[in-house]
Amino acid sequence: MSELFGTLLDGAAVRRWTLERGGVRVRVLSYGGIVQSAEVPDRDGRTADVVLGFDGLDGYLAHPEPYFGALVGRYANRIAGGRFSLDGREYRLARNNGPNSLHGGERGFDKRVWEAEPVEHGVRLSRVSPDGEEGFPGRLEISVTYTLGADAALRIAYEAVTDAPTVVNLTNHSYWNLAGSGNAGGHALRIAASRLTPVDGNLIPSGAFDDVSGTRFDFRRPRKAGSGYDHNFALDKGVTRAPEPVAELHDPSSGRVLTVATTEPGLQLYTADHLDASVPFAPGDGIALETQHFPDSPNHPDFPTTQLRPGEVFRSETVYGFGVRD
């Protein structure tokens, strides 16, 4: 089911699609591929929205930078200095995060209206990113499909092709709060990662890998998520053809459980510490679990590659499952 959600200043219509199955209701916007809401039951069957978002389009237009629920690209996360080289040619990008390029630049995929069409139990969004958009090379044709499976899990499947060598890294930037409100730092978190990519003061990886053993980054056994995280975890499973379980978030108060499975090699844990008074959410009100390739991969040849070439197909899939625990 779709309905008009609002209109941009240029007259472009934004539609909202509602996916409902197995007691779960998810709403997706054609603007920015945003997951506006995800309503799921608790252990007593009471439903709450577990994704931070706004009731109207104006909220997203007024507060774009936290990327609430958005589909981000052409390159999710940071690229150092807003530049990278590919096949001996340097490309310069918008520096919209201090000295770095972040989440695709000044007007990334999160700020575009996507074409939308219904599919079984879901919606498929598509657009063409022209050669040179935000400084990235190649004409990129992208589709992103959101579906609710028979298990009522939200599946996000990405696919892209290019007519020239380029780099691609796509993710969803939802902030999860399984209690439905309040601070999410008390949620129990598990991440199947024994290493992370350490970063400098601008959150750019050094290129090394740090063992999480004995540090505050060790989430291999569930413990409180807490605060102070904006880090990429190198998942033990690496890149896989099919989604594999990599993380779990649990709210003891409601019993709700969120599971994350993905084909991606990395997961960015962001505890939303930098939300401020300009948005109607407080620091720590949500936890982002962004499945991805590593930050700044185009400048680190030892990282899993984000290069995409003509004749190849970029594919990535992440599954967010919902459940309850006593």
Which one is catalytic: 290, 293, 300, 317? 290
Token couple for 139: 């004409």
Indicate the residue type of 246. Answer: V
pLDDT in tens, 38-71: 999 999 999 999 999 999 999 999 999 999 999 9
Q: What is the mean pLDDT of residues 306-311?
A: 98
Model confidence at 326, pLDDT cuts 50, 70, 90, reads: confident
Which one is catalytic: 173, 231, 250, 293? 173
Q: What sign does the CA torsion over 35, 36, 42, 46 have?
A: negative
Indicate the residue type of 181. Answer: S
Q: What is the mean pLDDT of residues 139-150?
A: 98
Query: What pLDDT is stored for residue 277 in this prediction?
Result: 77
Query: What pLDDT is stored for residue 286 in this prediction?
Result: 98
Is there a catalytic annotation at residue 290? Answer: yes
CB 205 within 8 A of CB 296: yes
Q: Domain 2-324's class? A: mainly beta
pLDDT in tens, 197-212: 999 999 999 999 999 9
Residue written as token pair 């506006």: 36
Q: What is the mean pLDDT of residues 302-324?
A: 98
Residues 6+ apart with CB under 8 A from 6: 13, 14, 31, 56, 57, 58
DSSP class of 61: H
Number of C-beta neighbours around residue 257 at 10 A: 19
Is there a catalytic annotation at residue 173? Answer: yes
Name the region of 22 (left: φ>0; alpha: ψ -120 to 50; beta: rest). left
H or E stretch at 86: strand 83-86
The full 3-state SS of 185-234, as one line of letters, equals CCCEEEECCCEECCECCCCCECCCCEECCCCCCCCCCCEECCCCCEEEEE
CA 5 from chain centre, in angstroms, equals 22
Q: Closest Cα to residue 70, out of 109, 115, 122?
A: 109
Indicate the annotated binding residues: 77-78, 173-175, 230
Average pLDDT, the chain: 97
pLDDT in tens, 168-186: 999 999 999 999 999 999 9
Beta strands 188-191; 166-167: pairing state: unpaired
pTM of the model: 0.97
Indicate the annotated binding residues for beta-D-galactose: 77-78, 173-175, 230
Model confidence at 276, pLDDT cuts 50, 70, 90, reads: confident
Q: Closest Cα to residue 171, out of 264, 275, 38, 83?
A: 264
Dihedral in degrees, nearest 10, Cα atoms 171, 177, 182, 185: -80
**Any idea which of 16-20, 29-33, 65-69, 277-281 has the lowest mean pLDDT?**
277-281
How far apart, in whole angstroms, are the C-alpha atoms of residue 43 and residue 47?
A: 10
Query: What pLDDT is stored for residue 107 in this prediction?
Result: 97
